[in-house]
Amino acid sequence: MRYIVCILLSCLIIAGAFHFAKPLPQLPQKEEFLPKANYAKAFAMGHNVTAAGLFWIQGVIDLGESYITGNSYSWLSHVGNLSTQLDSLFYTPYQVVGGITHNDEADTTDFIVMRRGIRVYPEDWRLAIYLALRLANGPTHNYAEASKIMEPFSTSPDSTIPKHIRSIYRNFALNTMQTEMALEMIINDVMNPEYSDFVHGFTPKTLRVLKQDTSAAEEVKNILERLSKHSMDPNEAFHRLLSMKKL
């Protein structure tokens, strides 16, 4: 009986929150009446976990309907934000919002959700990489923050972290450096036996640093391969690569 009362109370909470919410402007979907967290908290009366779950379930249902009907559904991150404001330990919204949001999505509500996620779960590298990729590839192109988020995982004792994830912070850092510093970093990494399996992956990074197109890819690749085999002097490689920089 107690559980039935809780369920009925939760339904009343959501109905009240929707009733008192101010509609968002010019949104042709039913999500235009998505309530604000402060309303939901007021009506939850301590049942925040239950309310968070109900809001999230409705958001997932709407997302599923959008796949079936072919309509767009751009409000899942807003539902995730509401749910995790009510219950910050609710892990599923962080995982789903981070996993399905496109890296170039213009709406940055997911930033709020994922920043909350890495504060609550600071050792979860999957949540961290979701946010880092969004920061780097989204409208802000915040490579510095992306690098800062991922750097702690380079030395994490977590054995499930792939090798390329451990070193990805260096990729983000390259975009914040002057050309000379970035080239020095690339040369040092290429010559490091630890990265011997990823030598070919340094070619597109180097092209990006030099602002070069793919026409220079073969020459850059040859230089990096020689560096990795220690058959080319690093200073010579540095000056050759720097001379290829597009102004």
Tokens 């789903």 belong to residue: 96
Q: Within a domain: residue 147?
A: no
- pLDDT tens-digit map of 88-142: 999 999 999 999 898 888 889 899 999 999 999 999 999 999 999 999 999 999 9
Within-domain flag for 98: yes
Q: What is the arithmetic mean of pLDDT over 201-208?
A: 90
Task: Give 181-194 pLDDT, tens digit per residue.
Answer: 999 999 999 998 88
**CB-neighbour burial class of residue 91 (10 A; exposed 0-12, middle 13-18, buried 19+):** middle
Q: What is the mean pLDDT of residues 211-228?
A: 91
Query: In angstroms, rounded to a whole number, what is the distance separating the alpha carbons of residues 209 and 186?
Result: 10
pLDDT of 29 > 60? The answer is: no
Q: How many CB atoms lie within 10 A of CB 147?
A: 21
Q: How many domains does the chain have?
A: 1
Residue 63 falls inside a structural domain: yes
Q: Is residue 13 situated within a structural domain? A: no
53 lies in some domain: yes
- Pairwise CA distance, residues 135 & 111, whole Å: 8
In a domain, residue 209? The reply is no
Is the pLDDT at 86 greater than 60, yes or no?
Answer: yes
- pLDDT interval class at 76 (50, 70, 90): confident
Domain that holds residue 109: 37-121
Instruction: Output the pLDDT for position 41.
Output: 75
Report angle CA 52, 54, 59 to the nearest 5 degrees. 95
Checking if the pLDDT of 168 tops 80, the result is yes
Q: Hey, which of 150-154, 198-202, 214-218 has the most confident mean pLDDT?
A: 150-154
By CB neighbour count within 10 A (0-12 exposed, 13-18 middle, 19+ buried), where does 196 fall? exposed
Residue 44 lies in a domain: yes
Residue 57 lies in a domain: yes
Contact 220, 207 (CB under 8 A): yes
Question: Any residues with CB less than 8 A from the CB of 199 and at least 6 apart, and which?
Answer: 190, 224, 225, 228
